[in-house]
């Protein structure tokens, strides 16, 4: 890594990084030399463990707690990272929640909670991250969407809307910033073995041609590529990580 590499001038922020996909992404980016902000809402102990594992491997990380649906929390995250490591040049919007139910049963608060966390917070984080990236003429944004934003999954209208919104937002912002060395992409995981999917119907596995769930590390490997110099000509793309579910 050269002295003027982006990692020397900035850092990465991964939301929802206390466990699962986010934790795997944080470790992968740290292995590439990024100082990483490990965002989390609940589970301070697990977030601290992610930080500890990064530091033990020779990396740099800091845990950043709070509900990112609150704008002031996101601002604190960015301010802390900028003061400690410099501008956020890699942003991974991974934080997400589910409140499932058939459409007639979903309450307004169920809709709002999912959209506020999964989509609106991601927009605010991108809006905050883009100006320093444009100034640096280098930046990577990766939004963690879902195959549910591409194909139907009854009982998840709010979740599907939030993830489809992420896909549309990814493509639009990518076109807006492409000339300045900033890429914006999405990954769309399918059935991944995490705490968030532990309660899903086992029948869903039958829709996966690979006949197995994916791992957080397999998703993280895709994010790691999209955040690298090697992916400099990849922008506005949606990379499905789903064992063939959407083939």
Torsion of CA 191, 225, 123, 109, to 10 degrees: 10
- Residue 180 corresponds to which tokens in the numbers above? 């300045």
The DSSP bridge partners found for residue 184 are 141
Q: Which residues are catalytic?
A: 159
Taking the C-alpha atoms of residue 108 and residue 200, their distance in angstroms, rounded to an integer, is 23
Phi then psi dihedrals of residue 246, to 5 deg:
-100, 15
d(CA 135, CA 236): 20
Backbone angles phi, psi at 186, to 5 degrees: -130, 150
């Amino acid at each position: 890594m050269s002295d003027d590499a982006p990692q020397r001038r900035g850092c990465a922020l991964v939301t929802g990084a206390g466990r699962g996909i986010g934790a795997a992404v944080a470790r992968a980016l740290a292995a590439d030399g990024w100082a990483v902000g490990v965002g989390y809402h609940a589970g301070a102990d697990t977030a601290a463990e992610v930080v500890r594992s990064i530091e033990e491997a020779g990396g740099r990380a800091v845990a950043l707690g709070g509900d990112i649906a609150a704008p002031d929390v996101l601002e604190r995250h960015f301010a802390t990272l900028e003061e400690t490591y410099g501008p956020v040049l890699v942003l991974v919007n991974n934080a997400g929640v589910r409140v499932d139910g058939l459409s007639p049963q979903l309450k307004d608060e169920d809709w709002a909670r999912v959209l506020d966390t999964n989509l609106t917070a991601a927009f605010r984080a991108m809006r905050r991250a883009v100006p320093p990236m444009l100034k640096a003429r280098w930046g990577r944004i990766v939004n963690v969407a879902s195959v549910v934003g591409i194909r139907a999954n009854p009982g998840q209208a709010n979740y599907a809307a939030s993830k489809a919104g992420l896909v549309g937002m990814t493509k639009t912002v990518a076109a807006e910033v492409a000339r300045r060395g900033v890429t914006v992409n999405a990954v769309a995981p399918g059935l991944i073995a995490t705490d968030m999917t532990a309660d899903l119907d086992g029948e869903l596995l039958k829709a996966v041609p690979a006949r197995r769930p994916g791992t957080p590390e397999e998703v993280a490997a895709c994010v790691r590529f999209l955040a690298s110099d090697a992916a400099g000509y990849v922008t506005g793309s949606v990379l499905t990580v789903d064992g063939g579910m959407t083939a």
